Amino acid sequence: MPPAPPAPCPGCGALFPPSDGPTHRYIGASAGCWALFAPRSVGEAPDPALLAASRVPEAPSAARPAPFPPAPALATLVADAYAAQHHGDDSPPAVQSVAVHLLVLHGVARRGVAPARAQWVRTRALRTRGVFAKLAPPPVGAALTLRHLYPGGGVTTPAAPADYAASVLAAWEGAHAATLRAWYDRHVVAD
Ligand SMILES: [Zn+2]
């Protein structure tokens, strides 16, 4: 039997071989996509076989990533971008996760928070539970994916980590820029 064709990750649209490997409890990534992220999050190189068997969404069948303003300060915030992009379901942990990770990206990219102080934004945003609402996610394909950081699989020039994070933030800002500003003022800045 030929191997099953790659399937799109519900969060980012990148295509990975079907897998019954582990996934995150509320970050909405396919097992294949999570297998690309999890080693990276602990500083390890991705599995070459996984890279060889996976690819980015194909245009024009998938929406192309929209243009985005570069935000070099986001280079160390790939995990925040990944968590925001893989928004998951409507459960309170998923809703809160998306909000907090977007506020971290917003704080560093738009409010001048130093990347080294990103944890301050996370802590502030988590002071009161249950204050964030579900945001309708941008369409799958509207942003770069983690797979765009690695060559092959439709990627000629790998994207910079900062560009991946900037692309994810910009995709969410498409419909929610005002909400992110308001949430940041109310739940991160204000006392
Ligand atoms: Zn994904």
Mean pLDDT (the chain) is: 93
> Looking at the domain assignment, is residue 101 inside a domain?
yes
* pLDDT tens-place string over residues 112-158: 999 999 999 999 999 988 899 999 999 999 999 999 999 999 999 99
pLDDT at 111 over 60: yes
78-85 helix and 92-110 helix, angle to the nearest 10 degrees? 140
* CA of residue 10 to ligand 1 center, whole Å: 6
> Looking at the domain assignment, is residue 63 inside a domain?
yes
Best CA proximity match to 172, nearest among 91, 75, 104, 72: 104
Token digits of residue 11? 């969060």
> Looking at the domain assignment, is residue 18 inside a domain?
yes
Using a CB cutoff of 5 Å, list residues around ligand 1, an ion: 9, 11-12, 29, 33
pLDDT at 63 over 70: no
Burial class of 33 by CB neighbour count within 10 A (0 to 12, 13 to 18, 19+): buried
pLDDT band at 61 (very low <50, low <70, confident <90, very high): low
Domain count, the chain: 1
Q: What is the pTM of this model?
A: 0.95
Cβ(58)–Cβ(147) below 8 Å: no
* CA of residue 25 to ligand 1 center, whole Å: 14
pLDDT at 59 over 80: no
Best CA proximity match to 55, nearest among 17, 112, 27: 17
> Looking at the domain assignment, is residue 1 inside a domain?
no
> Looking at the domain assignment, is residue 99 inside a domain?
yes
Best CA proximity match to 112, nearest among 73, 141, 158, 79: 73
pLDDT at 32 over 70: yes
* CA of residue 62 to ligand 1 center, whole Å: 14
* CA of residue 110 to ligand 1 center, whole Å: 25
Predicted local distance difference test score (pLDDT) of residue 17: 95
Residue 66 or 104, more confident: 104
Overall average pLDDT of the 151-174 stretch: 96
* CA of residue 145 to ligand 1 center, whole Å: 7
pLDDT at 11 over 90: yes
> Looking at the domain assignment, is residue 179 inside a domain?
yes
Overall average pLDDT of the 88-97 stretch: 95
Task: Supply the range of the domain harboring residue 153.
Answer: 7-189
> Looking at the domain assignment, is residue 24 inside a domain?
yes
Predicted local distance difference test score (pLDDT) of residue 1: 64
Predicted local distance difference test score (pLDDT) of residue 55: 96
> Looking at the domain assignment, is residue 41 inside a domain?
yes
